[in-house]
Amino acid sequence: MVNIHEPGPLEGRAERWPVLAVTGALEVRLAETEAEVEAAQHLRYLVFYEEMSAVPSPEMRAQRRDFDRFDDFCDHLLVVDRSVFDEDGQPLVVGTYRLIRDEYAAKAGGFYTLGEYDLSPMLNAWPASTHWLELGRSCILKEWRSKTSTMQLLWRGLLSYCARFSSEVMFGCASLHGTDPQALALPLSYLHHYHAMPERLRVRARPELYTSMNLMPKEAIDPKAALRTLPPMIKGYLRAGCLIGDGAFVDRQFDTTDVFIYLPLKDMDPRYMSRFGSGT
């Protein structure tokens, strides 16, 4: 097992890349050094543990970084603000995505999402040669969250990455804040009734973790009102054309309720691909 407290070289990660896109002082690229990976982990800690209500381990609290065993088996997509510097004098990382390709998952013993969902219907429905990309740990620093360019750069970088590695299906977990499903009945029920994956490949939360999303009848849902209750990240996935798995997972460590996101690149909304995928 990789010791994340004593990180080694970035073996197996994507080769050195140039900056993928620039908007003003912001640029998107992949982490190339352990210091940049740690900067992404520190950003995750600020958002998940200090701004939100996740519960860190003593090691995480001492280092003020969010980490797990998957961090050494992935690529970290970064949005960097070159006009602002961190305490080490480096441009500040203000947004991040954790990207796990199938070859990385094989080294890690499986995808992170397997801890919450049974992926076998989805994996078995596609050819064995399919290139998968698991998305996770996405966050943006609060002061940059209102700048549409930050999320746009993350998407542009993500689609450039997909093009480089011929990724065919993106998937992962997306979170709604809070652990009371009844308080989230409207958004969960909306996702269940209006955006469900096809039954033949529908991913389902593991039985011991399964929480029903069918908490309201479809006729009782106001779709526009439901959309307003969704986090921006999930709304962005829906606009791109994603579908949702069966069942939510209540993650008490992160104080969230997770849903499964499924997005084949061939089914992505052409307007989204045109807007963020140009040049890839």
Is residue 9 predicted with pLDDT exceeding 70?
no
DSSP secondary structure letters along 37-63: HHHHHHHHHIIIIIIS-----HHHHHH
Tell me how far CA of residue 80 lies from CA of 22, 89, 92, 146, 158, in angstroms: 10, 13, 6, 15, 15
pLDDT in tens, 142-190: 999 888 789 889 999 999 999 999 999 999 999 999 999 999 999 999 9
- pLDDT of amino acid 270: 81
- pLDDT of amino acid 248: 98
Whether the CB-CB separation of 28 and 76 falls below 8 Å is answered with no
pLDDT in tens, 219-257: 999 999 999 999 988 999 999 999 999 999 999 999 999
The DSSP symbol for 16 reads P
Residues 79-97, mean pLDDT to the nearest whole number: 92
CATH architecture of 21-276: 3-Layer(aba) Sandwich (3.40)
The DSSP symbol for 232 reads H
- pLDDT of amino acid 53: 86
Distance CA 261, CA 197 (A): 9
Whether the CB-CB separation of 165 and 101 falls below 8 Å is answered with yes
Whether the CB-CB separation of 28 and 6 falls below 8 Å is answered with no
- pLDDT of amino acid 7: 34
> If we measure between CA atoms, which residue out of 113, 123, 120, 108 comes closest to residue 75?
108
- pLDDT of amino acid 158: 93
Percent share of the chain, pLDDT over 90: 80
Is residue 277 predicted with pLDDT exceeding 80?
no
Beta partners for residue 261, in sequence order: 172, 244
pLDDT band for position 8 (cuts 50, 70, 90): very low
Kindly state the tokens that stand for 22: 């620039």
pLDDT in tens, 98-121: 999 999 999 999 999 999 999 999
- pLDDT of amino acid 5: 30
Is residue 96 predicted with pLDDT exceeding 60?
yes
Whether the CB-CB separation of 232 and 260 falls below 8 Å is answered with no
Residues 71-93, mean pLDDT to the nearest whole number: 92
The DSSP symbol for 196 reads B
pLDDT band for position 4 (cuts 50, 70, 90): very low
> In this structure, which amino acid lies at residue 261?
I
